[in-house]
Structure 1
Amino acid sequence: MITRILALAGAVTLAASPTPTTPLGPPAGVDASAIDTVVREYRDATGLPGAAVTVTRGSTVVHAAGYGHTPAGDPITAHTPMAVASVSKSFTALAVMQLVEAGRVALDGPVQAYLPEFTMADPRAGQITVRQLLNQTSGMSDTTYRSFSRRPVPRSLQEAVATMRTARLAADPGTRWEYHNPNFQVAARLVEVVSGRSFDDYLRQQVFGPLGMTDSRTANVASDLPPSARGHLMILGMAVAVPEPPAFGNGSGGVLSSAYDMAAWLIAHGNQGRGRNGTAIISPAGLTTLHTPSTVSGSYALGWSIATSASGAPVIEHSGDLFTSTAYQALLPASGYGVAVMANTGLAHGDASALIARIIALLEGTPVPSTGTPLLVIDGVLLALASVTALLAGWGVLRARRWAAGRRAWLWTVARLLPLLLPLLLFSSIHHVVSVLYRGRDVAWIQVTYLYPTFMVLLGTAMVGCIAVLVARLTGLARVGREVRAPKHPTGTARGRTTTNHMA
């Protein structure tokens, strides 16, 4: 019965339902108040604890603001640094392109020419070009190098690159696209070695500083995140503050920024590489290169992706996902708008992408997507199943001796006991199952608890309950066995001697 409940829970967890849309007329002058309304309605509908939002058009900031609070309870403002996660890849790609335009790096030159320390247990690694790192066609893969579950966690870009020495490629360089964070960790380390500065210093001096992004910096590992950049899980509709699980992210996901600073970043990309103050950080040709997808993927460029909006307009974008926060940036070349969102809930909830979709719909006058099936319902179902599982396990423990007394054939008894080990097996190997569902992406066990917290509560309850039933049944079998083997004494015997009552 408990295993059937787990099967039902799996179906509930993975269930998805169509999301209807709400018609919205053409925008009649989108301003800050209209954007505020969209964000407020979304937060009211989902319980999103905090977000930072910025909208630009050309070289103008339409809106930059913070909403809600950090896990520590502090209000989020336009200057609150938050994690942008994999949006960081766009910053790394631009840093490399600056070195290309300075003549210090050849985009199609081999990585090892600039970063000799980058070696792998595969001779094809010498063929990987700088461009292939940035468009993720290097042949590196989560299937051959477990970047999330690697232990110990590197503390620097140099250490991160060093851990790749024993890895192999999954494909010839330039032949297959695969999203793989270490591509950008190698690229960031290349920036360090070529420039002679730490990656954080380089961005401060060459990108953040010229654009006036004074709130921005980088972090190496999850424990480096400041309180403002930490996030939540949503359980039963309630925000639960939790630390980000251990991982290394600089270069691929380590940038911290604010709504105010992201406005400056978007303006530079929508203003021919020039910031609000007119300072150029890259040429128009360099921007075009960054935004041009590879022929291998057809949609992934250099730290950016190419897509279309609901109206069919082109969008240049990139998402960012941590386990406790998400981010999204989008450029709409046809209208000149740029949008960025940082939300302090994890990738299981997708709040940044959902919120930015609603803002883009507002800007384009297209139907506003609904919030879809609320996770509150799924959480409620899974926790209810966990309660039922606990009750069934308790009943199984109480009936264990009666169950044992009815067992006769040992083979049948073993067959009935073995399924009780299945929850333990699944609980200990769940990250491998999730990795398969995520098409081979590396997933650490602890990260699964962030992705599916209530399912893991159910699975943990099932594991403990089944072990308790198993122990109780084995104990019952042992008692029954002792009773069967115990010698049976006739009435009126003591210590094996028969006593006779003589009558006078």
Structure 2
Amino acid sequence: MWTEHDRARILVVSLRMLVLCAVTAGAASLAPSAAALSPPAVDVAGIDAVVQQYRDAANVPGVAVVVTRGAEVVHAAGYGHSPAGDPITEHTPMAVASVSKSFTALAVLQLVEAGRVDLGRPVRAYLPEFTLADPRVEAITVRQLLDQTSGMSDTTFAAFRRTQPGSLQEAVAGMRTAGLAAEPGTRYSYHNPNFQVAARLVEVVSGQPFDDYLRQHVFGPLGMSDSRTGNTERDLPPSAHGHIKILGGPIAAPEPRAFGNGSGGVLSSAADMGAWLIAQNNSGRGPNGAVIASAASIERSHTPSGVAGSSYALGWDVDTTASGAPLIAHSGDLFTATAYQALLPASGYGLAVIANTGLAWGDAAALAERLIALLEGAPVPAPPGALSSLGADAVLLLLTVGTVLLVVRGVLRSGRWATRRARRPLGVVARLLPLLLPLALCVSIHRVVGALYRGRDVAWIQVPYLYPTFMLLLAIATVGGGAVLLARLVGLARTRGAQEAVDRTAVDRTAVAGR
């Protein structure tokens, strides 16, 4: 999960830090009942104004927003358009990414209520196909999957860099070579495969495909008719496609290849997310009166694990707002879209934001932060300025132009360069090797980014989505370095060939003169 919204995107990659501010485990119990809440007092026009102001400042093409309070939807609306130009409405299905984890956790808790699953029992008691290369897999419990303390980690299993599976069964089978980074239950580590295993567990225990299970037991009862799940980016409808930004402007882009069901595969709308938030804030009861879980299960899902350094509960993260009020939330990030859901137990508000711009800009969470301030009656932070993003991209694009000019100059002067250095082989090697440095960085850039992101798994194709103008510069430098290297080698070959011809002529003349 990436939660830092404003990152510098020149040469140095900064980690969007996980929010790990622990608050009391009983924060969820502070939620007032629907009957105790006063009628919604939020200014709907104010919500529209904050959203529009942010969209204009941050160049976000499409956003869906819902605000609830108690058992009521205060406001649900869509703004802007999809990459295809279709208007975003409150019923437009969009990708909620890792917000999906709270749905997976709820599905498991439903099976717990039915007596079919015990959170404290090993996962393999229900899912024998779940095997790892580490024998400690036998000790991983169902709860540890949901609170991300299983010991599985991006550092021991490259979920993005592997060949991507097409189903939950394939996803779990592909984990056989994975190791553990810690003893189960001792350390928090955000790792998408935890929830893919949990979703597969739901399939096996219930005997239903995961999408069918959610439709029957969550989406259907709550009236979430716009919602479903998908396995990979190929399952995204046109309305869920998104954008990257260059020079501050949005550019439609396909989502890179990745498997996400269970961990990030839910598609939903503002209207549907309103029903979901109401159930979360209303002890499991939806706006239509349907009960999807007991009050105890809802509270359990909002209670952190208690593991040192973790504020993560079961598919939710427990934090505080800028004013210090309890906050139960979860962000969701794809490379072309972001989402954010939040519960404010002290006031009974719920909030969800879905934006069709990618995780490098964190627009859903940034907009949610401003809407939360509005709901709390606090000053709303000013929208982000486009200057920093525009400036970074402009600098990188100028460097790219400069690199092209240097490459052209290097190629044109390769003959002269070769003539000066033809008889100094060691000096030639020392001057040619640096031309391969951009290639070395380009090939390994995903590993560099992963290391700077504290061990998170990053596939090479994902890096251009995070830093498009930097990758353009690196690509030009790589191709340009190769072109200059090749031109210089050709120049050296020609120079040496010409020199050898001169030497042979001189020898021939000497031989003739000596006769």
Question: Is 1:419 matched up with 2:434?
Answer: yes
Shift of 1:272: 1.0
Question: Is 1:145 matched up with 2:168?
Answer: no
Find the counterpart in structure 1 of residue 502 from structure 2.
487
How far apart in 2 are the matches of 1:433 and 1:400? Answer: 32
- Judging changes above 3 Å, is the alpha-carbon distance between structure 1 residues 313 and 490 closer, same or farther for their aligned structure 2 residues? closer
Find the counterpart in structure 1 of residue 493 from structure 2.
478
Find the counterpart in structure 1 of residue 216 from structure 2.
205
Shift of 1:169: 1.1
How far apart in 2 are the matches of 1:10 and 1:460? Answer: 15
State the secondary structure of the residue aligned to 2:318: strand
The 5-angstrom pairing of residues 397-416 of structure 1 reads 397-407=411-421, 408-416=423-431
Flag the structure with larger Rg: 1
- Judging changes above 3 Å, is the alpha-carbon distance between structure 1 residues 322 and 346 closer, same or farther for their aligned structure 2 residues? same
Using the aligned pairs only, state the percent identity.
68
- Judging changes above 3 Å, is the alpha-carbon distance between structure 1 residues 65 and 489 closer, same or farther for their aligned structure 2 residues? closer
Question: Is 1:155 matched up with 2:155?
Answer: no
Q: Which residue among 85, 102, 106 is the counterpart of 2:97?
A: 85
- Judging changes above 3 Å, is the alpha-carbon distance between structure 1 residues 495 and 303 closer, same or farther for their aligned structure 2 residues? same
Letter in structure 1 aligned against 2:289 = G
Find the counterpart in structure 2 of residue 121 from structure 1.
133
How far apart in 2 are the matches of 1:495 and 1:67? Answer: 87
How far apart in 1 are the matches of 2:367 and 2:453? Answer: 23
Find the counterpart in structure 2 of residue 387 from structure 1.
401
Q: Which residue among 160, 168, 181 is the counterpart of 1:170?
A: 181
Find the counterpart in structure 2 of residue 217 from structure 1.
228
How far apart in 2 are the matches of 1:436 and 1:205? Answer: 41
Post-superposition CA distance 1:75-126 (Å, at most 9, x none): 0000000000000000000000000011110011110011111111111001
Post-superposition CA distance 1:170-204 (Å, at most 9, x none): 11100111000000000000000110101001000
Could you tell which deviates more after superposition, 124-133 or 471-480?
A: 471-480
Runs of 4+ aligned structure 1 residues displaced above 4 Å come to 8-16, 488-491, 493-498
Q: Which residue among 389, 392, 402 is the counterpart of 1:375?
A: 389
Question: Is 1:258 matched up with 2:269?
Answer: yes
State the secondary structure of the residue aligned to 2:175: helix
How far apart in 1 are the matches of 2:426 and 2:509? Answer: 38
Could you tell which deviates more after superposition, 163-172 or 261-270?
A: 163-172
How far apart in 1 are the matches of 2:150 and 2:426? Answer: 53
Question: Is 1:37 matched up with 2:49?
Answer: yes
Shift of 1:452: 0.7
Shift of 1:496: 8.5
How far apart in 2 are the matches of 1:130 and 1:471? Answer: 57
State the secondary structure of the residue aligned to 2:322: coil
State the secondary structure of the residue aligned to 1:341: strand
Question: Is 1:311 matched up with 2:311?
Answer: no
Find the counterpart in structure 1 of residue 354 from structure 2.
342
2:147–2:314 Cα contact (<8 Å) kept: yes
- Judging changes above 3 Å, is the alpha-carbon distance between structure 1 residues 410 and 217 closer, same or farther for their aligned structure 2 residues? same
How far apart in 1 are the matches of 2:393 and 2:62? Answer: 21
Find the counterpart in structure 2 of residue 465 from structure 1.
480
Find the counterpart in structure 2 of residue 24 from structure 1.
none
State the secondary structure of the residue aligned to 2:401: helix
Shift of 1:489: 8.3
Shift of 1:488: 5.3
Question: Is 1:430 matched up with 2:475?
Answer: no
- Judging changes above 3 Å, is the alpha-carbon distance between structure 1 residues 261 and 490 closer, same or farther for their aligned structure 2 residues? closer
Find the counterpart in structure 1 of residue 19 from structure 2.
none
The 5-angstrom pairing of residues 190-339 of structure 1 reads 190-296=201-307, 297-339=309-351
State the secondary structure of the residue aligned to 1:201: helix
1:50–1:76 Cα contact (<8 Å) kept: yes
1:13–1:455 Cα contact (<8 Å) kept: no
Shift of 1:284: 0.9
Q: Which residue among 116, 132, 136 is the counterpart of 1:104?
A: 116
1:329–1:340 Cα contact (<8 Å) kept: yes
How far apart in 2 are the matches of 1:269 and 1:487? Answer: 87
Shift of 1:404: 1.3
- Judging changes above 3 Å, is the alpha-carbon distance between structure 1 residues 9 and 141 closer, same or farther for their aligned structure 2 residues? closer
Letter in structure 2 aligned against 1:428 = V
Letter in structure 1 aligned against 2:416 = R
Shift of 1:234: 1.0
1:235–1:379 Cα contact (<8 Å) kept: yes
Shift of 1:391: 0.5
How far apart in 2 are the matches of 1:446 and 1:166? Answer: 23
Structure 2: 5+ residue stretches without partners: 1-7, 17-39
Letter in structure 2 aligned against 1:147 = A
2:13–2:452 Cα contact (<8 Å) kept: no
TM-score by length of 1: 0.92
How far apart in 2 are the matches of 1:114 and 1:91? Answer: 19
Shift of 1:409: 2.3
How far apart in 2 are the matches of 1:33 and 1:203? Answer: 34
Shift of 1:495: 13
2:14–2:453 Cα contact (<8 Å) kept: no
2:150–2:184 Cα contact (<8 Å) kept: yes
Question: Is 1:351 matched up with 2:363?
Answer: yes
How far apart in 2 are the matches of 1:445 and 1:236? Answer: 22
State the secondary structure of the residue aligned to 1:368: coil
How far apart in 2 are the matches of 1:130 and 1:146? Answer: 22
How far apart in 1 are the matches of 2:15 and 2:293? Answer: 45
